[in-house]
Structure 1
């Protein structure tokens, strides 16, 4: 019987604090009903030191919703305590981050035999790793299918279109986008309609300001997400 290929989903956003974790967790919440899902937040900055282990709250949420029994260090292998740009945090500690390192860590998740690996990025699409490399280089190396979270606020049209164009220029496919409505926005629906005309990808949902992933998942199109996550047999 042919083996099904693991689906690679990468959640990025228009900016920091745009709702990547909420949307990523909501998608995991949907997919774990019928699939084995591993999660990956390769880099984080802003962690609590818990008994000598750096614990990132976003990575912890992902770990708790996934169903591959991953240890936290496999979910978030590169973690920094200070909430600053990760490549600067690395520099202050005399460390380096590069795309090959992140790709190798990602490949190690195959040991969990998942149907889907969902990666949550950090910041926006062009997160610097230092040395002229970006987290998007990892996404290219691993041929990710990208889901774009748009923080619906003044300026989001420009941010969303530039992010979308950069992803396409990198040779990757935006398989869907989510309108995340954290704060009230004048003419919100008009802006969503405008983006729908420019982004050649399905709108997966309009998420209001909710408290958790389970609530957010109710505002996502489960059928579309299941379709995106479907793996083709090799």
Structure 2
């Protein structure tokens, strides 16, 4: 994996460089003191992981992420743990390292980024409606038609069938783009459902094979249209 470091503190840069040098699976392409300096590099180079401080001199790390189109995996590095909850709302963030962090903690973050990287290269192998999901280095076999719903929780996806619940690092957006539109419908910012298993709709909830799933206000009209429900 290729990475860059966006960090304005020299000691923090040195620690990251030292830890990365001990990790064969990752290569540093560049080190930047400010997000603006890194912006053009990201546009012109393939970067798989960004080590990103939140408090930067020009723009905050969180605000910078929101400006990147198709951002790579982000590992936040900062001295302020109180930012962790809000930052994990961005599904491109795979981990949050609070300074000072150990090599063991760093290596755990790298493994999370590696899982995201491997999943993004080949997240789903499909043959005649059979899917193999790469979860924790194991390929789990399911069929597309067996999926009840897909749930997003921060930077994790859970694929739910009648017999399985498989969770791994992924964004819901990627599933929306890959699933057949005539079968799967996004009903909430955190949920995609299989219309085949819809039992009923009650208020702002949809029942999918007895599972109660919230309906987002901005998704309801399209959902009713897709299901051909006359109001």
- Give the TM bin, normalised by the shorter chain: 0.3 to 0.5
**Which entry has the higher C-alpha Rg, 1 or 2?**
2
Answer 1 or 2: which has greater strand percent.
2
Answer 1 or 2: which has greater helix percent.
1
| TM-score normalised by L of structure 1 | 0.36
Structure of higher RCO (CA pairs closer than 8 Å, 6+ residues apart): 1
